[in-house]
Structure 1
Amino acid sequence: MKTFTLPGTELVVPNVVLGLMRIAEMSDDDVRHLVRTARDAGIDFVDHADIYGGDHGCERRFAEAMRLTPSQRAEIVIQSKAGIVPGAGGLRYDFSYDHLVGQVDGSLAALGTDYLDILLLHRPDALVEPEEVARAFDDLASAGKVRYFGVSNHTPGQIELLKKYVTQPLVANQLQLSITHASLIAQGVSANMAGEDQAVDRDGGVLDYCRLHDITIQAWSPFQAGFFTGVFLGSPDHPELNAVIDRLAAAYDVPPIAVATAWITRHPAQMQVVLGTTTPERVTGAAQGSDLPLTRAEWYELFRAAGHLVP
């Protein structure tokens, strides 16, 4: 497993992360098997959110199943997210001081821990008051409840607005990215091409911005074809891509999921891949893509096979 020091922190982290958004209904044994499989593969970084499983449900399920001792807790990087509020009429977002501090307290209670290693703001709040975010971050940091902070699904402009007031470095930006859902990469390849849909900037240059500002991109839904439209691996909707993936998997003697993971980890931005699977075998397979040495030719072949333009 490839590891690196997360910029802006003292954390040495793997480039593959275990996402735990789907564990709410799993048994203790199944949760433990999933986490131990990840640990055996070198993954000691877990990703939560207050909303996963409903009202801290997945955080609580993790803590109940794992029952970590203080020394075991110190061996794992625990990241959680806050800011999405479910309701009868639909979702809303809330980055107010009271909400953020209250949700962190809820996460700590559910997880049975005194601190989060990283807290991310989950989705941009259109009514964000960055001064309140800064006050919340200051109080959470000074109380020892959160070590580091970041964002999720944020544009460069939204990050800059936060940074005008927030004094802590924003160390991560969790963004949807897969071979097939790769606009944040594909746009740059086709820049300055009038009339090409791929040339339209939908992300504000977020990839280059994060690289310039030492913000680690965490790729969520790394095997989804689109926005929760189903996985591309083995899908009849992506025959050309899967043919290339299968050929490379055979050549490297790894499962196809490792090739899909490696397409992201091969990028020099040094991203992290956030897995969403609850199948231990898939976690083991994906982990094999951590440091799979795809060549430039192979990386671009996958990119083209996914339907992206290489002009």
Structure 2
Amino acid sequence: MSSQIVNQNPTSRIIYGCMGLGGGWDNSPITAQHIQQAHQVIDTAIESGITIFDHADIYTRGKAEKVFGIALKDRPELANQLTIQSKCGIRFADETGPGRYDFSKTHILNMVDGILERLGLEQIDTLLLHRPDPLMVPEEVAQAIETLQQSGKIRQLGVSNMNLHQMTLLQSALSTPIVCNQLEMSLTKLDWLEEGITSHSSSTLGTIEYCRSHNVELQAWGSLSQGLFTGRDVSSQPEMVQNTAAIVAKLAAKYQVSTEAIVLGWLLRHPANIAPVIGTTNLDRIRACAQAESFELSREDWYLLFEAARGQQMP
């Protein structure tokens, strides 16, 4: 691991998603290799200017947070260099019920205590509510968040996968602003763009505009489309995927950056100031992703990619 870390770009909009840390999604123990991987990922991210780290209590069944916490304990100086967020609200099937979402006050409070214990921290910067709970009682969530903020366990509140109506309802009960919303956004997940162009009845229509007008940061999960346009074999994929991959490669050569940078740069070009979340544990790919902030796609190239990804001309 690096003996000294120099943060070259402290304002990076790219977020590192920690879902791949800690080993498998089972009860197997954390190994020395997992700890070494966490150190290497943290070092590479910071050296690339990426200082925001995204967790969730369910990632590798809590082991992602545990291994990250071990890294922080090994090197306490890291805590002052990083912004750390985590999510709660998803519950796996167990002896008490099926897989479900839980925004009850008791669950939120208990899960935050677990997050802090695994990370070895007294406070996280942002808590995100992980996927909307149809049984959410906004006033109950507000009580939990107020308790957590007053006790100093969280600084801010965010949400994940919520539309503007769900955010409006929740915000009406809160005394603190919702600061971010994590949505699936990529060249293979275009709903957030299509609904503003071709749809007039979508229940989520206006979510992007709501976030922009209320200073809610948009964080894009799945932003790399699982590597579909950055090296995977697409010979058996639909024609529009093959065409998009070819254009990504062509633009990478044009702008002299990685294909990962083109894919993420397409999101960064949007005026909503989208913050892509990357989850790769490949150190070279982390570095490749960081190149996304070194250039800006032209309007014409942005639309070229959009048209290819949607598989048809603009209406």
Alpha-carbon distance, 1:268 to partner: 0.6
1:95 maps to 2:118: no
SS of the residue corresponding to residue 53 of structure 1 reads helix
Match of 1:47 among 36, 54, 71: 54
- 1:246 Cα shift? 0.4
Relative distance call for 1:2 and 1:91 in structure 2 (3 A) is farther
Report the counterpart of residue 286 of structure 1 in structure 2. 289
User: Structure 1's 240 and 30: CA in aligned 2 closer, same or farther, altered over 3 A?
Assistant: same
Task: Tell me the equivalent position of 1:307.
Answer: 310
Higher relative contact order (CA 8 A, sep 6+): 1
Structure 2 letter corresponding to 1:275 = I
CA distance in 2, matches of 1:135, 1:300: 44
* Residue 24 (structure 1) aligned with residue 22 (structure 2): yes
In structure 2, the residue matched to 1:231 is: 228
Change (3 A) 1:148 1:291: farther
1:206 aligns with 2:216: no
Which whole-Å CA distance do the structure 1 matches of 2:168 and 2:11 have between them? 25
Query: Given that residues 39 and 71 in structure 2 are in contact (C-alpha distance below 8 angstroms), is that contact kept between their aligned partners in structure 1?
Result: yes
Number of residue pairs matched by the alignment: 291
Equivalent position of 2:28 in the other structure: none
Residue type at the aligned position of 2:71 = A
In structure 2, distance between residues paired with 1:68 and 1:178: 35
Q: Report 1:33-112 matches (<5 A).
A: 33-54=40-61, 56-67=62-73, 69-88=75-94, 90-112=98-120
Normalised by the length of structure 1, the TM-score is 0.88
Instruction: Look up the match of 1:221.
Output: 222
Q: Is the Cα–Cα contact under 8 Å of residues 46 and 78 in structure 1 kept in the other structure? A: yes
Counterpart Cα distance in 2 of 1:49 and 1:204? 27
- Contact 2:196/2:205 (8 A) holds in 1: no
Letter in 2 for 1:273: P
The structure carrying a bigger helix percent of its residues is: 2
CA distance in 2, matches of 1:207, 1:68: 40
Provide the secondary structure at the position in 1 that maps to 2:292: coil
From 108, 118, 121, the equivalent of 2:126 is 118
CA distance in structure 2 between the aligned counterparts of 1:165 and 1:178, rounded to whole angstroms: 31
Does the 8 Å contact 1:2/1:290 carry over to 2? Answer: no
**Cα contact 2:16–2:53 (8 A) shared by 1:** yes
2:244 aligned with 1:241, yes or no?
Answer: yes
Q: Secondary structure at the match of 1:290?
A: helix
Aligned equivalents of 1:122 and 1:113: distance in 2? 20
Letter of the structure 2 residue corresponding to residue 266 of structure 1: R
Partner of residue 164 from structure 2, selected from 156, 175, 178: 156
* Larger deviation, residues 273-282 vs 231-240: 231-240
Q: State TM-score, norm by structure 2.
A: 0.87
Per-residue Cα deviation, 1:36-85 (whole angstroms, up to 9, x for no partner): 1110000010000001111x221001111342555420210000000001
Q: Look up the SS of the partner of 1:131 in the other structure.
A: helix
In structure 1, C-alpha distance between the alignment counterparts of 2:39 and 2:49, rounded to whole Å: 15
User: What is the aligned counterpart of 1:182 among 176, 186, 190?
Assistant: 190
Question: Per-residue deviation at 1:213?
Answer: 1.0
